[in-house]
Amino acid sequence: MIVYLALGTNLGDRLQNLRQALAALPPVAQPRRASAVYETLPWGITDQPLFLNMVIEAETYLAPQALLGELKALERRLGRKEGIRYGPRLIDLDILLYDEAVIDLPDLCIPHPRMAERAFVLVPLCDLYPHGRHPHLGETFEALRARLDCSGVRFWAGPEAVWPFGPYSEQEVT
């Protein structure tokens, strides 16, 4: 299954956190392509450090709930501590899209419930999947992004800055 995952970090060495998360992902989901890395103004709780955000496309053989469990375990292994909602974090790994699935469970909603209102998600997602459609809203991600104020999202580095698998290529998965 093809999934889109959102990565976010605003504590410690942020680029290194992204790199380590990508490097640790393969047993859970094999990264295929990555967006650029963006520095973004904090959403929700605004009085916290700036985030780095990116989105990756990956292939997984895990079912959605198993994938969520593995991503949460990976966050803990990378050193994430329990914190407040929308607060600062070493690494956040969210499932945006899982193939064409629509899931509405107490602990797992796909598409991610807040993705359409978050420029820090839609800007990187549009690097990879601008013509994809939001399963509930039916609009393309490009159209949804065009409605948001994206002034708090700025390009920080290309995907090769955090890609731990050798030379980055859009087409070739190493």
Ligand X SMILES: Nc1ncnc2c1ncn2[C@@H]1O[C@H](COP(=O)(O)OP(=O)(O)OP(=O)(O)O)[C@@H](O)[C@H]1O
The set of catalytic residues is: 80, 89, 92, 94
Residue 53 binding: pick among ligand X, ligand PH2, none (C-beta 5-8 Å cut-off by kind): ligand PH2
Q: Does 53 bind ligand PH2 (CB under 6 A)?
A: yes
Decide: is 120 part of the binding site for ligand PH2 (CB under 6 A): yes
Nearer to ligand PH2, 40 or 60 (CB): 40
First to last CA, the chain: 18
Q: Give 83 or 170: the residue with its C-beta nearer to ligand X.
A: 83
Which of 167, 170, 154, 165 is closest to 53 using CA atoms?
154
Q: By CB neighbour count within 10 A (0-12 exposed, 13-18 middle, 19+ buried), where does 9 fall?
A: buried
Give the C-alpha distances (Å, rounded to integers) separating 9 from 1, 6, 101, 127: 26, 10, 26, 19
Whose Cβ is closer to ligand PH2: residue 61's or residue 155's?
155
Given a contact cutoff of 8 angstroms between Cβ atoms, the answer to whether 39 and 154 are in contact is yes
Tokens 């104020």 found at: 149
* Stretch of 24-32, 107-115, 122-130, 143-151 lying at the interface with ligand X (CB under 6 A): 107-115
Residue numbers 6-45 binding ligand PH2 by CB under 6 A: 8, 40-44
Six-digit token pair at 23? 């490097």
Q: How far is the CB of 101 from ligand PH2 (least distance, A)?
A: 22
Nearest distance in Å: CB 170, ligand PH2: 24
Interface of this chain with ligand PH2, residues 77 to 96, rule: CB under 6 A? 86, 92
Among the residues of the chain, which ranges form H helices? 14-24, 64-77, 119-128, 141-146
Judged by CB under 6 A, does residue 85 bind ligand X?
yes
